[in-house]
Structures are given as C-alpha cells and as structure tokens.
C-alpha cells in the first residue's frame, strides 16, 4: 500500500528523510550531481528562504511497505500568478522509484492540494527561483549536469508525467561550446567595441569579492529587470534578489563575473562559473569539513565553465549590448584556459539569445522540459 504524507518542516528527522531520498535513488550513478545539502535545507526552512514570505509550499513523501519511495513539493507562487494572471500550481523536487503507481499517488496529492487553493493548472518542475533549474531532462542523459544549476533524472520521469496527462509547456536547452571552435573574428570584437562606445557602454570586471559585493544590489536589480519578457519571469522581492545574488557570489570567482555599464547603471551581466561538479560529487553534497576545500581546488583545475546568467536590458540589446556580451563571453573562456563551456538552460522562448548562441557555435546538447496539465 502506498501512503503519501505531508512532511513536517519543523522536524529535523523528516526534513532529512526528504533530502536523503535522491541520494539513495542515485547511489553510484556516475553522472548525478547531488544538491548542496545546506542549500536544500534552506529551501525547506520557512523562516530562512525568502520565497516562503510570499508563497505557499507543501512537501510530501510517499511510503510503501515502510520504505520511502518518492517525494514531491507542491507550490503556489503567488507573485507569478498575479503578474501573469494565472491560477497555477508548480511541482518541484519530484523523485520516485520506477513505479508508476508511486508517481500517480504523489501527483494526485499535489493535485488535491492545488484544487483546495482554487488553482486550475499544475506546471513543473519549477522551483523557488532562477537558480533552481527548470524542467525534467528529456535529452542528454549521457552528459553530467552543470553543477546544481540543472536537474538530472532517469528517462522514466518524463514518461510518468506524460502518462499522467501532462504535455510540454516550454523547453530549456543547454548549449555546448568548444573553446577551440569559439573564436569570434577580430572584426566582431571591433564592431562590439565601436557600437558600445557609441552607446556609452563599458565593461566592468572584478578582481575580488569585496569589490563585487559593492555592486551586488545593482546587479540584482538588473538581473530582475532583464528577463521581464521571459516565460519564467516574475518580479522578485528585494529579499529574493539579495538571496539569488548571495547564492551567485558564494560560488563565484569574481573574475568570471562581468557587468555592462551605462554610466554608473548596470545594464547587462555575464555570470561565469568554474564547473566544480566533480568536487560536489566527491563530497556528496556536503561542504564541511572537507568539501569546501576540494571545491576550491577544483575551481582552479577544471576545464569546464558554466555560463548561467547572461543578459542585457531590452532597451540596450540593439545598441551594442549583445555584441559586447558575446565578445566578453569568448574572452572569459579563453583568458581562463577553459576547454569547454556549458551555456546553461536557455528557454526556447528567448528567441534572440538562442539565435545568438547558434551564431557563435553553440550546439544544443541537453534539453529540460517543463510540463503542464489542467486539473
């Protein structure tokens, strides 16, 4: 018999059960990158994570014969629904054994939760913010995820949700860039510089975190405003902006973060990260006592870069901002000796960026699909 029970987020034991399930399901899997455990605990902490200040979340576990066999989070993102005039629930953190009845029981409980709130659609996977990663992996199972910035799952997950009546809502495609192939013609750099100069745009680079922190609030505001036309957009609260920027700064090499300025205003950004997936795998998601040391070592020796966050305010995209962004992207990859780059999760609705990535040699190699169904 399958039982689905609500997790008491005040109970340390129940939170640990919820967190530990995927570690058991993916044990020994060479490509799965575990979450950072302390980050997941924060997402389940209703006092610490800013998402809980404006929205509702419930966490459920499925049990069968006394064993934990699945989990799911049901979410009502109130600012998103208000901004887009929708009545949607989201699902996230879905994991289960290869048993369709377990998946059905979990989703039936999530549907029930959503109906109780007067919601008429369920969409997901879609989490607590822009760094949580969107969708279920549907292509690219042979590749390791870029750190914890995207989800990894077995092929039966999308099969299960489709069997439950879900259909495609939007795809997020990640592109691979080979450093050897990604070399813009010198004239492109000159054109970018001339166009930027005419528009009064400059690039600011950082040498240390202290300097980067001084710009954090301005970077966060621009990050929030840049994606206003994207499918996944909703206006982040000030606390959420601070939280997202804090997450970025916590794992960033400041030299890989670049911003585009118009005067003193931040109008664009490029967030680059040394891909430390291998170290996260070795530490099993634990930063302490030794995981953080291994991660710092991996930052210096990895040949992979993850580019997760590149954008220019809409009003500057046709004034040299985009050209300058891709010029800086190429410089980032080559100046730091990376051999490979993962341009992480670009929504198919971001038509211009998808087109730009293809023009500079990006090859689609992973696809994460967000699903939707009426209830």
DSSP 238-283: HHHHHHHHHHHHHH--GGGEEEEEETTEEEEEEEEEE--HHHHHHH
What does pLDDT average to in each consecutive run of 10 residues of the chain (375 residues)? 96 97 96 94 95 97 96 97 96 98 98 98 94 93 88 97 97 90 77 81 86 84 82 88 81 85 88 92 91 91 88 78 80 89 83 70 90 97
| Parallel, antiparallel or unpaired: strands 201-205 and 257-262 | antiparallel
Question: Hey, what are 314's tokens?
Answer: 């809409």
- Would you give the distance in Å from CA 250 to the centre of its chain? 15
Q: What pLDDT, on a 0 to 100 scale, did the predictor assign at position 323?
A: 77
Q: What pLDDT, on a 0 to 100 scale, did the predictor assign at position 238?
A: 87
Q: Kindly state the greatest CA–CA separation across the chain.
A: 69
pTM: 0.92
Q: What pLDDT, on a 0 to 100 scale, did the predictor assign at position 249?
A: 74
Q: How many CB atoms lie within 10 A of CB 108?
A: 12
Question: Hey, what are 137's tokens?
Answer: 């992996």
Domains assigned to the chain: 2-171 (3.40.630.30), 178-367 (3.40.630.30)
Helix (H, G, I), strand (E, B) or coil at 19: helix
Helix (H, G, I), strand (E, B) or coil at 176: strand
Helix (H, G, I), strand (E, B) or coil at 120: coil
Q: Are 368 and 171 in contact (CB under 8 A)?
A: yes
Closest CA to 258 of 173, 196, 191: 196
Q: What pLDDT, on a 0 to 100 scale, did the predictor assign at position 64?
A: 96
Work out the burial of residue 160: count CB atoms within 10 Å of its CB; fewer than 13 is exposed, 13-18 middle, 19 or more buried: buried
User: Whole-angstrom Cα distance, residue 22 to residue 306?
Assistant: 24
Q: Which positions ≥6 away from 146 have C-beta within 8 Å?
A: 174, 275, 277, 304, 306, 308, 342, 344
User: Whole-angstrom Cα distance, residue 201 to residue 320?
Assistant: 8
Q: What pLDDT, on a 0 to 100 scale, did the predictor assign at position 307?
A: 86
The structure tokens 């634990």 sit at 286
Q: Are 190 and 358 in contact (CB under 8 A)?
A: no
Closest CA to 258 of 348, 180, 187, 336: 336
DSSP code at position 342? E
| Parallel, antiparallel or unpaired: strands 265-274 and 167-178 | unpaired
Q: What pLDDT, on a 0 to 100 scale, did the predictor assign at position 128?
A: 93
Helix (H, G, I), strand (E, B) or coil at 303: coil
């Amino acid at each position: 018999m399958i039982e689905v029970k609500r997790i008491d987020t005040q109970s340390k034991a129940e939170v640990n059960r919820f967190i530990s399930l995927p570690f058991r399901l993916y044990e020994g899997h060479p490509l799965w990158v575990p979450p950072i455990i302390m980050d997941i605990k924060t997402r389940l902490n209703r006092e610490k994570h800013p998402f809980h200040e404006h929205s509702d979340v419930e966490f459920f576990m499925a049990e069968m014969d006394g064993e934990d066999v699945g989990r799911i989070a049901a979410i009502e993102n109130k600012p998103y629904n208000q901004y887009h005039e929708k009545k949607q629930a989201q699902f996230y953190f879905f994991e289960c054994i290869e048993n369709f009845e377990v998946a059905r029981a979990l989703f039936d409980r999530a549907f029930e939760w959503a109906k109780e709130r007067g919601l008429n659609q369920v969409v997901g996977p879609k989490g607590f913010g822009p760094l949580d990663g969107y969708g279920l992996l549907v292509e690219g199972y042979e590749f390791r995820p870029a750190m914890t910035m995207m989800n990894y799952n077995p092929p039966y997950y999308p099969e299960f949700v489709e069997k439950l009546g879900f259909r495609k809502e939007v795809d997020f495609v990640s592109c691979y860039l080979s450093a050897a192939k990604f070399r813009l013609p010198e004239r492109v750099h000159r054109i970018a510089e001339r166009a930027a100069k005419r528009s009064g745009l400059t690039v600011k680079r950082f040498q240390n975190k202290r300097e980067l922190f001084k710009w954090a609030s301005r970077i966060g505001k621009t990050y929030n405003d840049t994606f206003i036309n994207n499918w996944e957009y909703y206006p982040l609260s000030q606390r959420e902006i601070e939280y997202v920027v804090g997450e970025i700064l916590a794992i960033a090499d400041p030299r890989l973060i670049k911003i585009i300025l118009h005067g003193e205003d931040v109008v664009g950004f490029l967030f680059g990260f040394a891909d430390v997936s291998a170290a996260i795998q070795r530490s099993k998601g634990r930063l302490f006592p030794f995981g953080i040391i291994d991660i710092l070592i991996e930052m210096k020796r990895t040949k992979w870069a993850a580019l997760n966050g590149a954008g220019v305010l809409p009003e500057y995209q046709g004034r040299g901002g985009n050209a300058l962004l891709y010029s800086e992207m190429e410089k980032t990859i080559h100046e730091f000796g990376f051999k490979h780059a993962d341009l992480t999760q670009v929504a198919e609705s971001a038509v211009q960026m998808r087109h730009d990535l293809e023009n500079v040699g990006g090859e689609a190699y992973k696809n994460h699909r967000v699903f939707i169904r009426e209830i």
